[in-house]
Amino acid sequence: MDFNLTRQHEMLRDTVHQFADSELAPRALELDEKGDFPFDIVKKCGEMGLVGIMTPKEYGGTDMGHLARMIAIEEISRVYPPLGFFFQTGHLGHWSVQTYGTEEQKKKYLPSLCKGEKIMFDAITEASGGSDPAAAQTTAKLEGDEFVVNGRKVFITLPGAADFGCILARMDDKFSEILVEKGTPGFEVVRREKIAGFRTTPVNELVFTNCHVPKSNLLGQEGRGLAIALTTVAVIGRTGVAGIGLGIARGCYEAALNFAKERKLYGKSISELQAIQFALVDMNVEIEATRWLSYYAAWQIDQGKGLREIGADIARAKLLGCDLANRVAPEAVQLMGGYGVTAEYHVTRRLNDALQLFPAAGTQEIMKLTIGRSILA
Amino acid sequence: MALNIIVCIKQVPDPEHYSKVTLDPVTKTIRREGIPAVINPVDKNALEEGFSIRDSYSGKIAVLTMGPPQARRALEEALAMGADEAVLLCDRAFAEADTLATAYSLACAVRTMGHFDLILCGNETADSGTSQVGPQLAQFLGISCVSNVKEITFEEEMSLVAKQSLEGGYMKVRLRLPALITVRKEINKPRLATAFGIIEAAEKEIKEWCCKDVEVDSNCIGSAGSPTKVLEPIELPRRKGEIMTGSPEEAVKKAIEKVRELGGLT
């Protein structure tokens, strides 16, 4: 048993840490205030090999794996969680293409995704509920060499900034995943939700009205769409949330720790008060525990283990990562008193971001169902 | 013009953790346990300058360090930033070297590395700050040297102009290669390692040389070759400020009295 990170993982952590401090921290407040998608930062992440971190080298990636991805998302989210959310959601479609796509699709889409030049969304959820994807009503009918897509998708992250995406569509009694490019007649991004956190990552509603796409845009086997979508959400979405949760918690904990060292009350630093020490210790211990559980889940994916074997471990990581962020962020606000709720201390923006982790990649209740099925099997 | 550039780096305790630094009362050296080791910050500027020159004129960057086995980590990072090859000079015989013995040992390694056009160093290290090793290395190699440089420009083949920072100004020095330049922090902004660089670094070799691999006079290396010794580290009193309160007139009066009290006015 070896708990050491590889030297590559260590160097990746260091460089993403420095990148986040130097490039993201100075812009975090401004980015959140404006709410515009940070295309330039994503491009920079592409140049650094971070967007293609789990993509094979032949398609422009660095192929460092899922643990490396989690480390990068954690370090980015420690400073600017909306960018972590871009990695979490953008990688859904990205991974679907590299895992289930044809050679032609991989060559067409992956290199520009890895460079951060193109952005992809993954559309599953409909008004019928994200927890019940089999109730989705969007349809795709094969007419000659084209699919004709009709339907509506809600709470889809990234379409407002993306160039193309994959959608889950019903074909009679089965589902298929279909790639759709922006600008295709009949495909509209109709609104952007006003959400609490992740201010720069657009969450949109999509409408498809007799939208014709080539048959060659089928992603994976016809009729296997639901399995592809759910596997992708589990493997990529949930580990991504775990990384974001870790990052948010670390960012809040570090802010609270620094504050406690500097803030003086009753003539001494408040870090000398046991009540403050205990609060910081609780945060620290929970972060460390969640980190190792989450790393274990990602590491197992890198070992080639299948979702059937490690689905519960991934669900545990999502469950704990989300809870961690939503416990540590309010605790940091509490510790920092009035300063905690000011924008300058960067905790409330992280608290808002943390809230978005509850529904992302499956609710906490769905995680418990997954874990429950595993332990009661 | 393809240039062979050698960049000398040193692994130092992370300056961000200097509040944790203590001195060993016996050896008078820094206790490094529990403090992360990093590439000396201004050495990253030297690396960046090397990359920038290589990007403009082609060539290759070899990075050299002397240190314990764990100094390999600094070389790995330099390779991930974009260096082409790396040499670790590592032997217990090199230990406890002062600046002169360090420069001598590095000079022997540089000669073993073969042809070079330019050597770049950081102006000083964060942990000892003597600024001596670069110029001493140039002296041992018998090449031109300019220290404290904030800008390098190439004017013609194998000739460069180094803008040396001086108190209250600067001096431009034109020199022919081979030469050694020590750089200041403001010369550039060092690039970060990328994920591409990290995976490429794994393919690059780090040569590890002991004192037998470089032709050294054993009397000139390590403790034996060090004419200077640390006798006693002294902690300097911290500078402190004092704010004079009251109306501007009162505050100025108090300030003048304070300066007079400290012997600044007679």
Residue B195 has its nearest CB partner, among A18, A22, A62, at: A62
Which pLDDT score, from 0 to 100, does residue B155 have? 84
Which pLDDT score, from 0 to 100, does residue B9 have? 98
Chain B's closest residue to A9, CA to CA, is: B198
Give the number of other Cβ atoms within 10 Å of residue A70's Cβ: 31
Average pLDDT, chain A: 95
Contacts of A192 (CB under 8 A, 6+ apart): A160, A202, A203, A204
Question: Is a pLDDT exceeding 80 seen at residue B238?
Answer: no
Question: Is a pLDDT exceeding 90 seen at residue A168?
Answer: yes
Which pLDDT score, from 0 to 100, does residue B157 have? 77
Contacts of B259 (CB under 8 A, 6+ apart): B265
From the candidates B19, B192, B200, B203, which should be mutated to test the interface with A, based on the most A CB atoms within 10 A?
Answer: B192
From the candidates B194, B200, B206, which should be mutated to test the interface with A, based on the most A CB atoms within 10 A?
Answer: B194
The pLDDT confidence band at residue A192, using thresholds 50, 70 and 90, is very high
Tell me which residue has tokens 């169902």: A369
The SS3 of residue A270 is helix
Which pLDDT score, from 0 to 100, does residue A262 have? 93
Q: Do B192 and A64 touch (CB under 8 A)?
A: no
Which pLDDT score, from 0 to 100, does residue A367 have? 95
Give A18: exposed, middle or buried? Use CB within 10 Å, 0-12, 13-18, 19+: middle
Contacts of A370 (CB under 8 A, 6+ apart): A311, A312, A315, A362
A contacts of B44 (beta carbons < 8 Å): none
A contacts of B76 (beta carbons < 8 Å): 7, 11
Q: Do B199 and A63 touch (CB under 8 A)?
A: yes
Question: Distance (Å, rounded) from C-alpha B86 to C-alpha B88?
Answer: 7
Q: Do A15 and B192 touch (CB under 8 A)?
A: yes
Question: Is a pLDDT exceeding 80 seen at residue A292?
Answer: yes
Task: Enumerate the domain spans of chain A.
Answer: 7-114, 120-225, 226-376
Q: Do A15 and B76 touch (CB under 8 A)?
A: no
Q: Do B194 and A47 touch (CB under 8 A)?
A: yes
Question: Is a pLDDT exceeding 90 seen at residue B42?
Answer: yes
Quote the CATH superfamily of domain A120-225.
Butyryl-CoA Dehydrogenase, subunit A, domain 2 (2.40.110.10)
A contacts of B197 (beta carbons < 8 Å): 49
The ipTM is: 0.92
Question: Distance (Å, rounded) from C-alpha A202 to C-alpha A210?
Answer: 25
A contacts of B199 (beta carbons < 8 Å): 8, 49, 57, 62-64
Give the number of other Cβ atoms within 10 Å of residue A214's Cβ: 13
Question: Is a pLDDT exceeding 90 seen at residue B250?
Answer: yes
Q: Do B195 and A18 touch (CB under 8 A)?
A: no
Question: Distance (Å, rounded) from C-alpha A173 to C-alpha A175?
Answer: 7
From the candidates A48, A63, A69, which should be mutated to test the interface with B, based on the most B CB atoms within 10 A?
Answer: A48
The pLDDT confidence band at residue B27, using thresholds 50, 70 and 90, is confident
Sign of CA dihedral A267, A270, A272, A275: positive
Taking domain A7-114, whether its CATH number is 1.10.540.10 is answered by yes
B contacts of A15 (beta carbons < 8 Å): 80, 192-195, 198
Q: What is the nearest CA distance from B38 to chain A, expressed in angstroms?
A: 10
Task: Enumerate the domain spans of chain B.
Answer: 3-220, 236-266
The pLDDT confidence band at residue A373, using thresholds 50, 70 and 90, is very high
Q: Which CATH architecture has domain B3-220?
A: 3-Layer(aba) Sandwich (3.40)
Question: Is a pLDDT exceeding 90 seen at residue B231?
Answer: no
Question: Is a pLDDT exceeding 80 seen at residue B32?
Answer: no
Higher local confidence (pLDDT), A129 or A28: A28
Contact B80/B116 with Cβ under 8 angstroms?
no
Question: Is a pLDDT exceeding 90 seen at residue B88?
Answer: yes
Average pLDDT, chain B: 92
| Lowest-pLDDT choice from A21-35, A249-263, B15-29, B176-190 | B15-29
Which pLDDT score, from 0 to 100, does residue A47 have? 97
Q: Do A11 and B194 touch (CB under 8 A)?
A: no
From the candidates A15, A24, A53, A64, which should be mutated to test the interface with B, based on the most B CB atoms within 10 A?
Answer: A15
Chain A's closest residue to B73, CA to CA, is: A7
Q: How far is CA A319 from CA A179, A240, A251, A357, B76, in A?
A: 30, 12, 19, 9, 36
CA atoms within 13 A on the CB side of B128: 15
Count how many pairs of residues, chain A against chain B, have C-beta atoms within 8 Å: 48
Buried residues in A116-153 as b, exposed as e (16+ CB within 10 A): bebbbbbbbbbeeebeebeebebbbeeeeebbbbbbbb
Which pLDDT score, from 0 to 100, does residue A377 have? 83
Question: Is a pLDDT exceeding 80 seen at residue B29?
Answer: no
Q: Do A49 and B196 touch (CB under 8 A)?
A: yes
Q: What is the pLDDT of residues A214-227, one digit of tens each?
A: 999 999 999 999 99
DSSP string, A53-116: TTS-GGGT-----HHHHHHHHHHHHHH-HHHHHHHHHHHHHHHHHHHH--HHHHHHHHHHHHTT
Mean pLDDT along residues A301-305: 96
Cis peptide before B190 (omega within 30 of 0): no
CB proximity B153 to A under 8 Å: no
Q: What is the nearest CA distance from B198 to chain A, expressed in angstroms?
A: 6
DSSP A224: B
Q: Do B198 and A12 touch (CB under 8 A)?
A: yes
Question: Is a pLDDT exceeding 80 seen at residue A65?
Answer: yes
Buried residues in A174-197 as b, exposed as e (16+ CB within 10 A): ebbbbbbebebeebbbeeeeebeb
Q: Quote the percentage of chain A above a pLDDT of 70.
A: 100
Give B254: exposed, middle or buried? Use CB within 10 Å, 0-12, 13-18, 19+: middle
Residues composing chain A = 377
Residue B194 has its nearest CB partner, among A48, A57, A63, at: A48
Taking domain A226-376, whether its CATH number is 1.20.140.10 is answered by yes
Which pLDDT score, from 0 to 100, does residue A176 have? 96
DSSP A367: H
Question: Distance (Å, rounded) from C-alpha A28 to C-alpha A349?
Answer: 9
Question: Is a pLDDT exceeding 80 seen at residue A129?
Answer: no
A contacts of B195 (beta carbons < 8 Å): 12, 15, 48-50, 53, 62, 64, 68, 72
Nearest to B141 by CA among B182, B89, B105, B169: B105
Question: Distance (Å, rounded) from C-alpha A101 to C-alpha A356?
Answer: 30
Give B189: exposed, middle or buried? Use CB within 10 Å, 0-12, 13-18, 19+: exposed
Q: What is the pLDDT of residues A68-120, one digit of tens each?
A: 999 999 999 999 999 999 999 999 999 999 999 999 999 999 999 999 999 99
Q: Quote the percentage of chain B above a pLDDT of 70.
A: 100
Give B161: exposed, middle or buried? Use CB within 10 Å, 0-12, 13-18, 19+: middle
Q: What is the nearest CA distance from B230 to chain A, expressed in angstroms?
A: 34
Q: What is the pLDDT of residues B125-154, one digit of tens each?
A: 988 889 999 999 999 999 999 999 999 999
